[in-house]
Amino acid sequence: MSPLFCGGKDSVRISSRAYGVTADGKNVNCYTMKNANGMEARFLDYGCILTHLILPDRNGTPTDVVLGYDDLAGYESDPAYMGALVGRYANRIKDSAFTLNGREIRLTPNDGPNHLHGSLSKRIFCGTVGDGGLRLTYTSPDGEDGLPGTVRITVCYSLDDNNVLTMRYEAISDADTVLNLTNHSYFNLAGHRSGRVDGQLLQIAADSFLETADDTCPTGQILPVEGAMDFRRLRTIGGEPACEQMEMVGGYDHCYVLRPDAAPAALAVCPRTGITLTVATTQPGLQLYSGNYLEDIPHPGKGGVPYVRRGGFALETQRFPCAPNYPHFPSALLRAGESYRETTYLQLQVLQQL
């Protein structure tokens, strides 16, 4: 467990139920975790999706702080990866290509000429309940998304009575490949249907970030945070002065370089509800995405609510985008037979006063 969070005696209950059937006739299940504090997390074995994350706010009102859909059809047609596991390579690889062991690897382009997030969000995992949590497994075949190697992927979700939701990622490949896994939840700490998150506060333990081009791919340059890009102190997500990096991509869609000793990696606070989100991770980067195009999603959100621009923010803990093309970035290489292990912790708490 991260030193940020102390353990405790847990009384978490886990249940499962049938959720729906995919368009091609495959059954999907939903798993629900509840702790002693009234916090609840729901997951699908389709895409390892976190569909709900509910806790009482400072007034005792149950508040669902992640965006999503009411039915499986919404997640099947979702272009925004809401709540999903993304990979085999999360974030972008420019021009859908890189060199591995002297051979050019061509990926499936799905974001213009670039490769974005991969296809794991649309795969059905095998779910089992045990050891205090949910274990989801999937074997990604050689060549999936264009990547080499047959990769066995395991995602473990657990919840405790300290309101810590733990996400553990493990994998092993039979050939050299690259791998980058993360969760792509959109958070709104005032509640998923409450509109823009501009008044919510955010802090990120990063002194630098990756410069991006107008296609949101990194240029390879690592820049110091300053002005609108600086979250070293707690401040609002919206209302900041414009800067060139934000204007190019319509807001925040940037990878922050986490300080190696950072604990926590990020903190978000909603003054209205008192709900706070603390993030700790073993990963070197955190992609901040401010939901710049959520209004373009054709499917209504939970409760039939149409989501709006900046109606949620994503904090994606991960390896750096385009890392296979930039040797000075932390490596995303997974050698044959070696183990991939990364963990992210999300802790939700409620402050009575700010």
Q: CA dihedral defined by 251, 255, 256, 260, rounded to 10 degrees?
A: 170
Buried b (16+ CB within 10 A) or exposed e, 132-141: ebbbbebebe
Cα–Cα–Cα angle for 303, 159, 22, rounded to 5 degrees = 45
Which pLDDT score is estimated for 240? 61
Written in H, E and C, the secondary structure of 31-61 is EEEECCCCCEEEEECECCCEEEEEEECCCCC
Strand 40-44 versus strand 50-56 pairing type: antiparallel
Which pLDDT score is estimated for 21? 98
Mark the ranges of the chain whose per-residue pLDDT is less than 70.
1-9, 239-241, 354
Is residue 73 classed as helix, strand or coil in its secondary structure? helix
Nearest to 92 by CA among 75, 102, 76, 107: 107
Which pLDDT score is estimated for 241? 60
Dihedral sign for Cα atoms in the order 220, 279, 345, 5: positive
pLDDT in tens, 189-219: 999 999 999 999 999 999 999 999 999 999 9
User: What's phi and psi for 244, nearest 5 deg?
Assistant: -60, -40
* Structure-token pair, residue 325: 């093309």
Written in H, E and C, the secondary structure of 148-206 is CCCEEEEEEEEECCCCEEEEEEEEEECCCEECECEEECCECCCCCCCCCCCCCEEEECE
Is residue 244 classed as helix, strand or coil in its secondary structure? helix
For 40, how many CA atoms within 13 A lie in the half-sphere containing its CB?
14
Which pLDDT score is estimated for 130? 85
Q: Are 109 and 77 in contact (CB under 8 A)?
A: no
* Structure-token pair, residue 121: 């969000």
Task: Give the C-alpha separation, 123 to 350, whole Å.
Answer: 34
pTM of the model: 0.96
**Domain ranges across the chain:** 13-350
Indicate which residues carry an active-site annotation. 184, 316
Architecture of domain 13-350: Distorted Sandwich (2.70)
Report the chain's terminal Cα–Cα distance, integer Å: 28
Q: Are 147 and 178 in contact (CB under 8 A)?
A: yes
Which pLDDT score is estimated for 262? 76
